[in-house]
Amino acid sequence: MSVKIIVDSACDLTPEEGKELNIQIIPLRYMLGDKEYLDGVTISNTEFYKIITTQDVFPKTSQITPFQYEQAFEDGLKECDEVLCMTMSSGVSGCYQSACLAQSEFDEKVMVFNSQHFCFSYTVLVKYAVMLRDQGLNVKEIYDKLTEALQKVRIIAVFDTLEYLKKGGRLSAGASIIGNVLGIKPIITISEGKVKVIKTVRGIKKGMISMDEYLDEEGEIDFDMPIVSGYTGVAPDQLNEFMEKYGNRHFEGHELPVEVVGTTVGSYAGPDAFAIGYFVK
């Protein structure tokens, strides 16, 4: 049974990568000021960071509609026998609900999987689904394997600034000012479908130490599964520094793909954050 995999752009894969993986990526729409963009299509992630760092704007995102999903499912079933739709966490977006509404018009040939993640932990889940599809599994088998994998997927990120958490209404202006003056860096993961601050530290060096500790504490990395690293902004300076200092301890002999974090997390992280998504054994 052939399976068409459909995802949303919060998985932080580019349209080119989507073609290479033979998946359909439905782009999210968002407004920056008075201009509307299609995520990854009419604006790249790098261009997005150039805008938010030079203009006083914050993105307003629209969820994918049931009608868009219905069209994607119809097209997918013309191409393949079954469809697996993966969405970003229902805890941060209504895309899962939209996909479920669309799925109700179809039979068991279409299944909708709530990834409970976004950014790079969503990325590696999508890549894992592609691995399973390429092994010849049907849609139900892929869905079940993904459900099991949720217990093993991890993401860790270090934010360099609190300014964009303030802009997004996730932090008071006063706390943001004090935090930036003190050099506070939040250490972020995703838990139960939402962003969770593990701890806050002073200075990027301590942020890197915290990421190093997290990688140790969470268990051995499974290099037979997808893994991805990446950054926000226009240059991977912080990520490169972390890899130079700690990379050999965790990834020796393994090359990590590097992506630019998309708008879902990037809106709140701002530039110079870095993250790693992976599975533990």
Angle at 157 between CA 268 and CA 249, to 5 degrees: 165
Half-sphere exposure of 266 (CA within 13 A, CB side): 30
Confirm whether 230 is domain-assigned: yes
Listed range (21-25, 31-35, 248-252, 256-260) with the worst mean pLDDT: 31-35
* 142 within 8 A of 188, measured Cβ to Cβ: no
Domain boundary among 117, 149, 181: 149
Q: Could you tell me which residue, 58 or 149, shows the higher pLDDT?
A: 149
Q: Considering 129, 149, 169, which residue would you say is the last residue of a domain?
A: 149
CA distances from 108 to 84, 102, 112, 241 (A): 10, 12, 10, 48
How far is the C-alpha of 196 from the C-alpha of 36, rounded, in Å? 29
Q: Check whether residue 126 and residue 95 sit in a common domain.
A: yes
* Short-list 224, 218, 9, CA closest to 128: 224
SS3 labels along the chain: CCEEEEEEHHHCCCHHHHHHHCCEEECCEEEECCEEEEECCCECHHHHHHHHHHCCCCCEEECCCHHHHHHHHHHHHHHCCEEEEEECCCCCCCHHHHHHHHHCCCCCCEEEEECCCCCHHHHHHHHHHHHHHHCCCCHHHHHHHHHHHCCCEEEEEECCCCHHHHHCCCCCHHHHHHHHHHCEEEEEEEECCEEEEEEEEECHHHHHHHHHHHHHHCCCECCCCCCEEEECCCCCHHHHHHHHHHHHHHHCCCCCCEEECCHHHHHHHCCCCEEEEEEEC
Tell me the β-bridge partners of 35. Answer: 32
> Domain span at residue 179?
153-279
Residues 66-92 have a mean pLDDT of 96
- Round to whole Å and give the CA distance between 153 and 128: 11
- The average pLDDT across 121-144 equals 98
Q: Please name the residue that has the structure tokens 């226009």.
A: 234
Check pLDDT > 50 for residue 36. yes
Mean pLDDT score of the chain, rounded to an integer?
91
pLDDT at 171: 44
Q: How far apart are CA 93 and CA 105, in angstroms?
A: 21
93 pLDDT exceeds 70?
yes
| CA nearest to 152, candidates 255, 221, 99 | 221
162 with 138, same domain: the answer is no
100, 187: one domain:
no
| CATH code at position 167 | 3.30.1180.10
Tell me, yes or no, whether 21 and 159 share the same domain: no
Tokens read off for 232: 């926000």
Q: Specify whether the CB–CB gap between 187 and 198 falls below 8 A.
A: yes
Residue-level pLDDT at 166:
58
Token pair listed for 66: 């049931």
As a whole-number percent, the residues of the chain with pLDDT over 90 amount to: 72
The reply to whether 191 and 69 lie within a common domain is no
Instruction: Report the domain count for the chain.
Output: 2
- For residues 137 and 94, membership in a common domain is answered with yes
11 and 130 share a domain? yes
The pLDDT tens digits for 133-191 are 999 999 999 999 999 999 999 999 999 887 777 565 544 444 333 445 446 788 989 98
Q: Are residues 18 and 141 in the same domain?
A: yes
